[in-house]
A and B are shown apart, each in its own frame.
Chain A
Amino acid sequence: MSLNANIPSGPLTQKWEKHRFEMKLINPANKRKYSVIVVGTGLAGASAAASLAELGYKVDAFCYQDSPRRAHSIAAQGGINAAKNYPNDGDSVYRLFYDTIKGGDYRAREGNVYRLAEVSNEIIDQCVAQGVPFAREYGGYLDNRSFGGAQVSRTFYARGQTGQQLLLGAYSAMMRQVGLGAVNLHARTELMDIVIVDGHARGIVTRNLCTGAVETWAADAVILATGGYANVFFLSTNAIACNVTASYRAYKKGAMFANPCYTQIHPTCIPVTGDHQSKLTLMSESLRNDGRIWVPKAVGDKRAPGDIPEADRDYYLERMYPSFGNLSPRDISSRAAKRVCDEGRGVGASGYGVYLDFADSIHRLGRGTIEERYGNLFEMYERITGENPYTVPMRIYPAAHYTMGGLWVDYNLMSTIPGLHVLGEANFSDHGANRLGASALMQGLADGYFVIPYTIANYFATAKTAKVTTDHPEFRKAEAEVRARMQTLLALNGKKTVAQIHRELGDVMWEFSGMGRNDAGLRKALERVPVLRDEFWNNAKVVGQGEEMNIALERAGRVADFLEFAEVMLHDALDRKESCGGHFREEYQSEDGEAKRDDENYAYVAAWEYAGVGVKPVLHKEELEFENVKLQTRSYK
């Protein structure tokens, strides 16, 4: 199968405009004849559901939480980027485009990223119109801050709760349509499979998480906006139930999975305290604006931080990357932390932690200023660790955070299955091998508000599929498969809990496919994962029944998919014999330990096609063409 990204021809700056003109439209009166299933109500899903319903399409929206407002987007803290150039500091659509391409280590499509930068401004306008209370200046104008190492201040924010406010905006817009009867909402409903009829995505199979009822839904198109898969690492900053199930089911039905190995490790999370740990908590990156990161110079120096004199401290980021220092990009900072901890210089009981120290800033700016800037974060830190960061430096360590990889989509956000569209973190499209801070929110909303409403019309107008109902044999077959799988899971009566196996999978993935990867390690992981999978199917224990709320069964289904998906990720990591962005292959680094890309051989999107459980998937390459930016070594020195 050849991959056609359908990127419009012509100059970069006119591609989207031209494409919008060329795409076919659906007459307003006919829109109500088309139905769309939207799975996921995060920023991407909620904004899509609202916008499509406003246009007149009939929308069914699904999420696994009890309310769409709880989608994981709610947790985003820092902010959202846009090229407004309000601060007059030299920003522009082109600069945002350029920074994003470079930040992604030249592994994203120029066309997509440029469109993202273009619509970024409209997103801010839209959110403000909805009543999102972004931070303002006294005069009433919007405030901006610099974030995630950007050289310009282009980040809009609402305290430390930007994701929450943006999501509530999109959620409100969607709920308005629910009230008007244009969106049917199905909360606590989990997607179990996708239904393909005559090669087109035509529906889904779901399980009602309250009653256990397995149901089928038919529509003219299916949109997946189901978020990322960072929980393959078990411990991550993602919400507990974030999963790969929807994407993975689509993959098994023929959608290709692109760049699964591109995962982002966030440098500033609270370190692990013990085996009971269920998730890791992100401490906003903004802390790095005023905190200095260090470890003791000597291996095994167990003195209390206050007892370690300046001369014995290593401010390693400032030392290695003098021009960006503590603000170096995520992948670089994370790896540096791992390196010093692997050397035995890590701090805290586990030795996997580094100090983020505010003493200098408190001294320079006063405690009041620091409290004003980070008060709520400091409180949160103290709540979790029981330590007061005003007097004792914070301890942080990197944690899995975001997944750049996802289902392959073309410029229209359609996967390799016609009619199956993928938005937000669930697709692979815009961040290349590394995502810059404050750009996931931007992408999710761009996809939902400003891309899919146009491209889906084009799909309807050109695909011209016949109507189907859930009586179609494909629906019956998919439903039967789902039921059978549930029964198999419920019959598991071994000696380990699903959570234990998930934790073991996470350990393997973190060790061999986390911050650093190498050939031998990846091969070892490729041996271990199938063993764990066997153990799951032979020795896991699932209690309760199918026809009721059953949290053990829910989890088992998700973990079963992670256990298969992990292998796809490992194959991709093994296959990509270069280091780029979040994918760091230890064999491919410069003398001073920096990532070494291989543009000659790897400037492509790796799209994997399912070939069976435990069988190496088939690789398809979409070559990336760079007509506007010159590929350079990403340097933050």
Chain B
Amino acid sequence: MKLTLHIWRQKSAKEKGAMATYQVDHISPDMSFLEMLDTLNEQLILNSEEPVAFDHDCREGICGACALTVNGVPHGPEAQTTICQLHMRKFNDGDALYVEPWRARAFPVVKDLVVDRSAFDRIMAAGGFVSAHTGGVPDANAILIGKDAADKAMDYAACIGCGACVAACKNSSAMLFVGAKISQYAHLPQGQPERKRRALAMVAKMDEEGFGACTNLYECEAVCPKGISVAGIALMNRDFLRAKLTYVETKTGGA
């Protein structure tokens, strides 16, 4: 196969980027999309040009590192498939593809197709946890969780934090990501004690990081490689509103 690639090249966060066009020949249908980019990069290096920087690691669709849009769709055309798992047999000989980074203010470009997604980590640090310190916890079977609840929690916990939801969203909203984490804990008994605090803290941080607001287009759900449901966003809205209306932080003084 032969392809024409239009790829976003940007030297650094400070410099302006632009599309550049490359020709790649000898593409095997058995290659993954990233292996196709590897091939391009090998060519570029041998021509003393800088390889195209892109994020990736596991190449198994689980670490969430890989992140690029193909023809304007995050992770490319195959549903519920990360770009590292997308194989070239899904394309046709002679196709011209546009390859771009995630685009969002909260995800500034570091270089070429690499963006900085640390905003997600900061949202997690704000409240994406159960405050259980190591040791001193009850026996695992002392906390009963029905299979249905466990499965629901797992559906949301499957999020790989890749940020495709933000990339796909017309408003660069992170609500599917945040909603998924809030929903995972909301379905579990372990998540209840901090439920209101968590919703308030994570949403506040999300807003502060400069993500947009959801307008219910559900494009995020459509491109999510793990098929996370927008029902998680509704649950987050509900939890946030309830917390906003009823939560009062208790202040205890003295020793």
Contact = CB atoms under 8 A, between A and B. Distances in A.
Interface of A: 47, 50-51, 54, 65-70, 72, 74-75, 84, 86, 122, 124-142, 158-159, 161, 164-165, 168, 171-173, 175-176, 178-179, 185, 187, 210, 239-241, 273-274, 276-279, 281-282, 380, 383-386, 449-450, 453, 493, 495, 497, 499-500, 541, 543-544, 548-552
A128 B143 contact: yes
A380 B78 CA distance: 12
A241 B121 CA distance: 21
A70 B57 contact: yes
A125 B58 contact: no
A137 B147 contact: yes
A72 B110 contact: no
Interface stretch (B154-162, B206-214, B242-250): B154-162
A390 to B, nearest CB: 18
Interface stretch (B126-134, B166-174, B232-240): B126-134
B60 interface: yes
Contacts of B138: 125, 129
B59 A239 contact: yes
B130 A75 contact: no
Residue from A72, A274, A385, A543 whose CB has the most chain B CB atoms within 10 Å: A543
A543 B48 contact: yes
A273 B31 CA distance: 8
Contact of A179 (B38, B45, B126, B146): B126
A161 B125 contact: no
B51 A551 contact: yes
Interface in B115-145: 116-118, 120-121, 124-135, 137-141, 143-145
Given A141-B144, A173-B133, 4 more contacts: A75-B58, A175-B125, A277-B35, A549-B53
A543 B49 contact: yes
Contact of A176 (B11, B51, B111, B125): B125
Interface of B: 11-12, 28-32, 34-36, 38-39, 41-42, 44-46, 48-51, 53, 55-65, 78, 81, 85-87, 89, 110-111, 114, 116-118, 120-121, 124-135, 137-141, 143-151, 153-154, 157-158, 160-161, 184-185, 188, 190-191
The 10 closest A-B pairs by CB, nearest first: A140-B144, A179-B125, A129-B137, A172-B129, A136-B150, A129-B132, A133-B153, A128-B140, A239-B57, A51-B134
Contacts of A164: 62, 158, 160
A541 B45 contact: yes
Nearest to A82: B140
Contacts of B30: 273-274, 276, 385-386
Contacts of A133: 145, 150-151, 153-154, 157, 184, 188
A161 B62 contact: yes
A239 B55 contact: no
A382 to B, nearest CB: 10
B241 to A, nearest CB: 23
B9 to A, nearest CB: 13
16 contacts: A51-B134, A72-B63, A130-B130, A130-B190, A131-B188, A134-B150, A136-B145, A142-B141, A175-B125, A176-B125, A185-B121, A276-B36, A383-B86, A386-B30, A495-B46, A548-B12
Contact of A126 (B48, B129, B132, B191): B132
A544 B112 CA distance: 14
Contacts of A278: 32, 34-35, 38, 59
A122 B133 CA distance: 13
Contacts of B121: 67-69, 175, 178, 185, 187
B58 A239 contact: yes
Nearest to B128: A172
A168 B160 CA distance: 10
A168 to B, nearest CB: 7
Contacts of A72: 57-58, 63
A446 B130 CA distance: 20
A549 B53 CA distance: 8
Contacts of A165: 154, 157
Counting chain A CB atoms within 10 Å of each CB, the highest count among B121, B134, B147 belongs to: B134
A161 B63 CA distance: 11
B35 A173 contact: no
B63 A497 contact: no
B48 to A, nearest CB: 6
B59 A276 contact: no
A274 B114 CA distance: 27
A442 B57 CA distance: 23
Contacts of B154: 133, 135, 158-159, 165
B146 A161 contact: no
Contact of B62 (A75, A86, A179, A453): A75
B161 A497 contact: no
Contacts of B132: 126, 129-130, 173
Contact of B59 (A159, A173, A185, A240): A240
A86 B190 contact: no
Nearest to A86: B141
Contacts of B111: 210, 548-549
Contacts of B45: 497, 541, 543, 552
A240 B12 CA distance: 23
A233 B154 CA distance: 34
Nearest to B59: A279
Nearest to A50: B134
Given A172-B128, A276-B31, A136 B58 contact: no
Nearest to A445: B134
Contacts of B32: 278, 384
Q: Which of A65, A128, A133, A210 is the most central at the interface, judged by chain B CB atoms within 10 Å of its CB?
A: A133
Contacts of A54: 133-134
B118 to A, nearest CB: 6
B57 A240 contact: yes
A75 B134 contact: no
Nearest to A183: B125
Contacts of B62: 74-75, 161, 164
Contacts of B153: 131, 133
Most chain A C-beta atoms within 10 Å of own C-beta, residue among B81, B89, B111: B111
A276 B12 CA distance: 29
A493 B125 CA distance: 43
B137 to A, nearest CB: 4
A171 B134 contact: no
Nearest to B56: A240
B57 A67 contact: no
A318 B45 CA distance: 49
Contacts of A122: 135
Nearest to A210: B110
Nearest to A70: B63
Contacts of B86: 383
A65 B57 contact: yes
Contacts of A241: 57
B75 to A, nearest CB: 12
Given A69-B64, A84-B140, A497 B160 contact: no
B65 to A, nearest CB: 5
A68 B117 CA distance: 11
Contacts of A383: 78, 81, 85-87
Nearest to A541: B45
A500 B46 CA distance: 11
B85 A136 contact: no
Contacts of B143: 128-129
A268 to B, nearest CB: 14
Contacts of A137: 147
A512 B184 CA distance: 47
Given A129-B130, A164-B62, A276-B28, A67 B118 contact: yes
Given A134-B150, A142-B140, A273-B28, A69 B35 contact: no
Q: Which of B28, B148, B150 has the most CB of A within 10 A?
A: B150
Given A70-B65, A549-B111, A136 B147 contact: yes
A66 B55 contact: yes
A394 to B, nearest CB: 15
